[in-house]
Chains A and B, each alone.
Chain A
């Protein structure tokens, strides 16, 4: 409710802790890093929201840019020393909701939301093609006797590169004898980005459609490819009656490895792992992906200096993987992050998130580091190790 956060938002002291990781070694707020005006940090954003809602300043496109340039990575939630820290991203999301309600959004955001509403994905691609990536992969539609509904998500369904990672995961499940299926063209967008962009009405519609579909099919367990879907289905769907056992795909992979259903051979290389925000800071899952990588013989796991709760966001959250409000500069977070990965000496930058994959691959291209380090999804790394 507007009153709830409006009554609190004045508590921001603009102390600036939100700009940093725990050791203050660098800028850890992606939008502040990109633009460097204090207005683009969380403190700036909160002060401006308050000023706008109190009619001290008027809405402009620049205000909307500032508000939407935040990828809701939760570094500020992690670092803010004040008692209200847990509420910060909610305040930003609510303020966005205010803009949406008043019809005051940026064209890129408007297009994102319209496409999701009409076509079930932010690019406006054909709904009928959502399951097309499964051709020749041995992935079937979900049947009630399947153990898992494999929820693929928009990026893995439509982005060619990410589709390769989804295929790796599907093949691993097939080889391990796991009974699973997907919804294909009947899969609705999970709504995480829509929620973060403040369009709560559209989010509710998407969530309710998914929940209805899952219930019709007697789904009990959902394994999501994206941490974004994992986050929203685990934390928000239950409030709308969607109570399923939701896991991220890395949890299932680790379980299969530990039970010996996926056998790993030597895969000698140096890998660094990028913690995605919606797995890490949002859901405190830092160890599962690392345990997978450590269990592969020959893998040397090296950490970037900003890791776990201090991970530097790739900049893809809040739909930025599509709207690209943080792009266009060598200070763009994805470019900064790939340089950090490269500096570890790793040959592979491991990801567990489709959004991170697209953002970091773009970053590598822009930094001309493609020959030096590659981005690989954890499923691809596991498949590569299991094939030998």
Chain B
């Protein structure tokens, strides 16, 4: 069967773009995180929706698992083929199909990377931008929205998944389906007011189909961008600081980070507030509003704005921020992973204390990285730990630390984000049984042969 499938795949994508060689199987079995590797049987790289469709039909016919992959940077093993099968690397599908300037949206193929879209808009549409995350630029737009990723515009406009205006999707049974306004119109302006079928694919980790195209909202890009970092010692103050800043509606993005090293940062919480404007006046107005909102803290000496000199500032203004990726080298170990649940902002102090306690228990260093979602509607709080890939003991301690943080997060009412399989099971266990049943039912309906990224969102009583 192996050779027959190989030849069939070669017939679809061309011999150059299919592999069952040990090197590709080894590499695609891993992701940069801590999850155990599992090898696919084949790696294919289609160029068109038609090729994807043919692959899926073949897989359905032969009941072979299929795993769609973009950048593979979720770090929680979401594109590790747990049951082998065909891993589809979508990055050859990298065309930017349309930019509708006046309606501010772009239509792209699933393999378009964050970096490519950023560069394209900067060159051809300098007054438009998308909500870029801090993952490395190889991360795909599709991969990020499909896991409810966040980016620089999340504080203003919600999750990156909220910015989707439509999909083209290959269903597990091989049909190609249009989702949103593009299903009845040439415009990809909106998901509604039709029944919102995008929800059948967002957050499902590829278990309900393969997105081959998407429409994404774009937003105004202002000429100037600046950053302020407000520092407090006491974690209890962070929620109120965020409440005040979000009330002003002046900020572009708000991140909060805390880490014990380098020493300069130890014991403080850094609330990084970005502002944009087309003129100095606009920027200064926004800056003033934010400073005014925090005057009480400054006057009673509980908080203050950090000095950001021209040699340091570019690090924070970089998009994506390379310093986030460099966290992987803190232990000179080539890795980091994080548990990044969505928590109510008021839970920040509790989450932070849990992080410190867990890091100490497992004798590892840490960083907390959080991003405000919406007007403080919630936040993504990352319990982040670097690990040394060459030290199995260190990796195991970090695994345990993350597991403990996952458990604590669930207990405090948090919602796990891009959960790895063990955490998915914990989520399903905790979930309302009818909700769980609905998830199972939808999966069964769309994927009767269970070929789509099996092992994910699976529950057995």
Contact = CB atoms under 8 A, between A and B. Distances in A.
B147 to A, nearest CB: 17
B27 A38 contact: yes
Contacts of A329: 16
Given A10-B390, A15-B138, A24-B113, A39 B24 contact: yes
Interface in B18-49: 19, 21-24, 26-28, 30, 32, 43, 45
A304 to B, nearest CB: 14
A20 B113 CA distance: 11
Interface stretch (A52-60, A88-96, A350-358): A52-60
B115 A24 contact: yes
A84 B331 CA distance: 13
A16 B27 contact: no
B329 A13 contact: yes
Contacts of A19: 138
Q: Determine chain A's interface SS by DSSP, over half rule.
A: loop
A11 B26 CA distance: 18
Contacts of A321: none
B326 A82 contact: yes
Given A24-B118, A37-B45, A13 B23 contact: no
Given A38-B27, A57-B23, A81 B325 contact: yes
Contacts of A83: 326, 329, 332
A136 interface: no
A36 B92 contact: yes
A39 to B, nearest CB: 5
Given A37-B89, A47-B30, A60-B21, A25 B138 contact: no
Interface string A30-49: 00000111110000100110
B27 A47 contact: yes
B101 to A, nearest CB: 20
B334 interface: yes
A83 B388 CA distance: 15
B84 interface: no
Interface in A301-351: 329
Contacts of B30: 47
B127 interface: no
Given A16-B71, A16-B136, A38-B27, A10 B389 contact: yes
Given A13-B329, A15-B32, A48 B23 contact: yes
Contacts of B119: 23-26
Contacts of A36: 17, 45, 89, 91-92
B335 A13 contact: yes
A20 B26 contact: no
Interface string B310-340: 0000000000001001101100111110000
Contacts of B411: none
B374 to A, nearest CB: 28
Nearest to B323: A81
A205 interface: no
B299 interface: no
Interface string B114-151: 11101110110000000000001110000000000000
Contacts of B19: 37
Interface residues of A, number: 37
Given A23-B119, A58-B22, A82-B326, A15 B28 contact: no
Contacts of A7: 390
Contacts of A62: 21-23
B120 A11 contact: no
A16 B45 contact: no
A329 B26 CA distance: 25
Contacts of B113: 24
A279 interface: no
Contact of B334 (A10, A26, A60, A63): A10
Given A37-B43, A48-B23, A13 B28 contact: no
A383 to B, nearest CB: 37
A19 B73 CA distance: 15
Contacts of A38: 27-28, 72, 89
Contacts of B136: 15-17
Interface string A66-84: 1000000000000001111
A62 B17 CA distance: 14
A35 B23 CA distance: 14
Contacts of A17: 136-138, 322, 325
Contacts of A15: 32, 73, 136, 138, 325, 328
Nearest to A12: B334
B385 to A, nearest CB: 14
A60 B27 contact: no
B332 A11 contact: yes
Contact of A44 (B27, B71, B91, B334): B27
Interface in B147-205: none
A56 B26 contact: yes
Contact of B32 (A14, A37, A48, A66): A14
A47 B123 CA distance: 34
Nearest to A331: B16
A62 B21 CA distance: 8
A51 interface: yes
A25 B137 contact: no
Nearest to B115: A24
Among A11, A23, A24, A39, chain B packs the most CB atoms within 10 A around the CB of A24
A82 B28 CA distance: 22
Contacts of A63: 22-23
B116 A24 contact: yes
A23 B123 CA distance: 10
Given A24-B119, A26-B119, A56-B26, 11 more contacts: A12-B334, A15-B32, A15-B136, A17-B137, A17-B325, A36-B17, A44-B27, A48-B27, A57-B23, A58-B22, A83-B332
Interface of A: 7-8, 10-17, 19-20, 23-26, 35-39, 44, 47-48, 51, 56-58, 60, 62-63, 66, 81-84, 329
| 4 shortest interchain CB distances as A-B pairs | A24-B115, A16-B138, A25-B119, A13-B328
29 contacts: A10-B333, A10-B389, A10-B390, A11-B333, A13-B32, A13-B334, A17-B137, A20-B137, A24-B119, A24-B137, A25-B116, A36-B17, A36-B89, A36-B92, A37-B19, A38-B28, A38-B89, A47-B30, A48-B23, A57-B23, A60-B21, A60-B23, A62-B22, A63-B22, A81-B322, A81-B325, A81-B326, A82-B326, A329-B16
